[in-house]
Amino acid sequence: MHYEAPIREPLIIGDKSYHDITVEVARPIETKAPRIWWFAFSLALLLFLWGIGCILYTIGEGIGTWGLNKTVGWAWDITNFVWWVGIGHAGTLISAVLLLFRQKWRMAINRSAEAMTIFSVVQAALFPGIHMGRLWLGWYVFPFPNQYGSLWVNFNSPLLWDVFAISTYFSVSLVFWYVGLVPDFAMIRDRAINPVQKHIYKILSFGWGGKAKHWQRFEELSLVLAGLATPLVLSVHTIVSMDFATSVIPGWHTTIFPPYFVAGAIFSGFAMVQTLLLIVRKMYKMEHYITLQHIEMMNIVIMLTGSIVGVAYITELFMAWYSGVEYEQYAFLNRATGPYWWAYWSMMTCNVFSPQFMWFKKLRTNLIFTFIISIVVNIGMWFERFVIIVTSLHRDYLPSSWSMFSPSFVDIGIFLGTIGFFFVLFLLYTRTFPVIAQAELKTILKSSGEYYKKEQKDHGEH
């Protein structure tokens, strides 16, 4: 029943029992934070506070505090929005798509990847919110009856589709994550000694007890939610890309955008998962669960999606030439050789060239190298959005209105602030939530644990 081909590498290293998994997953919650955690948390908190200051300044003074001008009316805000949404995609991909494909290696990493999804969508949602100027009127993006008629939202607009897509994505990811967390919170609750902690985890665990019928429903629910989340995650970045693709700006108006954006999203998301997990496994000594094999698998995904993105870039260039539209041709020539050439070539280097190192097993199993590449990829993917957005806008149809964009300190501050906010949330999560889906992981111990696999090899199937 627990048979797995001996050629497959173990996913749980060492002679672990179910109890060992419980203890090791609960340890970060039950022990004091390491010094490095406090250091990282303080740094993230400072960035976050700086970001809040810049957001309040924007709301108080208006969008004029940003570096926008009448030609480049969309710049860092939408770049950051798309970047953060894209990062979120890998979490859903790991938890939903890999569940549908029955990939067991997802189990050690899905909890943190989903946490990353939720925290990064929070960052993304900030940007359209503050770009509205009057944040307190944000509810106007939803179809509420109002005193103007009612005047309804425009269901033909991709920006409204985006509202629905992001809201659905965020809320569905959140409940998907929470359903999986409940049995693990119950485990923490049952171990807690401190009465305050016990009470908090009692509330969080919803009273879960692990009855057979409940597990049956749990598994069915997880499967169906995964089935729903898979097309959902593809729809979200498709719709984000339609914000651009349905407009008539050269460089945006292309049908390749949806698959191209989705591949880019998965690419950047896996890079961020890689960054975060390398920190988590080191900080909490989770090397036996988040193994070198997990890192290698993710590097392969990064290599694959990076290459897809590369093909998309080249296809875009080809289509610009092949379309025969001189505006389209100029937009791409300007990207590669115009005043923003450095952004374009940074993007190309980081996204297309750097993942190709992962063809070499030595490099993709090297932790330091992986960490560096994961950061490089995220920088590259930020540049990709910047290139698409700013270089397509800054030289429009009328040469007299051509201009450049330079960010103000507020633009930079808000972006750094979201990075701070993201890490504040993630670091708090690693100390209060079980960072590994331990209930799920226990189901594969006998088939994929190193000890059991060795037993099986020595004594045959039992």
Partner 1 sequence: MASTEKHIIVRALYDDDDVVLDAVKTVRDKGYHVHEVFSPFPIHGLDKAMGLAPTRLSVAGFLYGLAGLATSIVMTYYMMITDWPQNIGGKPSMSWGLNMPAFVPIMFELTVFFAAHLMVWTFWMKNKLYPGAEAQNDDPRLTDDKFLMEVELKGDKEALTALLKESGAIEISEA
Tell whether residue 226 is a contact of partner 1 (CB under 8 A): no
Residue 59, interface with partner 1 (CB under 8 A)? no
Min dist. Cβ of residue 115 to partner 1 (A): 18
Binding mask 131-170 for partner 1 (x = CB under 8 A): ------------x-----xxxxxxxxxx-xx--xx-xx--
Please report how close the Cβ of residue 201 comes to partner 1 at its closest, in angstroms: 10
Size of the site for partner 1 (CB under 8 A): 70
Q: Find out whether 204 and 192 touch, Cβ atoms under 8 Å.
A: no
- Residue 339, φ and ψ in degrees, nearest 5: -65, -20
Instruction: Pick the binder of partner 1 from 77, 243, 316, 440 (CB under 8 A).
Output: 440
Q: Binding segment for partner 1 among 112-120, 213-221, 299-307, 426-434 (CB under 8 A)?
A: 213-221
Return all residues near 408 (Cβ < 8 A) that are at least 6 apart. 65, 66, 67
Exposed/middle/buried for 155, CB within 10 Å: 0-12, 13-18, 19+?
exposed
Which neighbouring-strand residues pair with 449?
12
225 is a contact residue toward partner 1 (CB under 8 A): yes
Say whether residue 239 binds partner 1 (CB under 8 A). yes
CB 446, CB 111: distance < 8 Å: no
Query: With CB under 8 A as the contact rule, which of the stretches 82-90, 114-122, 295-303, 436-444 interacts with partner 1?
Result: 436-444
* Closest CB to partner 1 among residues 251, 258: 258
Task: Say how far apart CA 416 and CA 327 lie, in whole Å.
Answer: 35
Q: Which residue of 103, 209, 314, 409 would you call a contact of partner 1, by CB under 8 A?
A: 209
24 makes contact with partner 1 (CB under 8 A):
no
> Closest CB to partner 1 among 85 and 348?
85
287 binds partner 1 (CB under 8 A): no
432 binds partner 1 (CB under 8 A): no
Rounded to an integer, what distance in angstroms lies between the CA atom of residue 96 and that of residue 102? 10
Burial of 440 (0-12, 13-18, 19+ CB in 10 A): buried
Residue 96 or 280: which CB sits closer to partner 1?
96
- Report the 3 state secondary structure along 225-294: HHHHHHHHHHHHHHHHHHHHHCCCCCCCCCCCHHHHHHHHHHHHHHHHHHHHHHHHHHHCCCCCCCCHHH
- Paired with 12 in beta bridges are 449
Return all residues near 297 (Cβ < 8 A) that are at least 6 apart.
105
Residue 125 beta carbon to partner 1: minimum distance, rounded to whole angstroms: 15
224 binds partner 1, rule: CB under 8 A:
yes
Interaction of residue 220 with partner 1, rule CB under 8 A: yes
- From candidates 294, 335, 394, 442, binder to partner 1 by CB under 8 A: 442
Question: Considering beta carbons, is residue 218 or 423 the nearer one to partner 1?
Answer: 218
Q: Does 443 bind partner 1 (CB under 8 A)?
A: yes
User: Is 202 a residue that touches partner 1 (CB under 8 A)?
Assistant: yes
Q: How far apart are CA 75 and CA 415, in angstroms?
A: 12
Which one, 243 or 384, has the nearer CB to partner 1? 243
Residue closer to partner 1 (CB basis): 413 or 434? 434
List the end-to-end C-alpha distance of the chain, in Å, as a whole number: 9
Q: What are 350's two structure tokens?
A: 């980081």
- The yes or no reply on residue 194 touching partner 1 (CB under 8 A) is no
Integer angstrom CA distances of residue 268 from 9, 259, 302, 415: 26, 14, 8, 17
Residue 28 in contact with partner 1, rule: CB under 8 A: no
Q: Which residues of this protein are in contact with partner 1, per CB under 8 A?
A: 1-2, 17-19, 22, 143, 149-158, 160-161, 164-165, 167-168, 171-172, 175-176, 179, 182-183, 186-187, 189-191, 202-221, 223-225, 228-229, 231-232, 235, 239, 242, 439-440, 442-443, 446
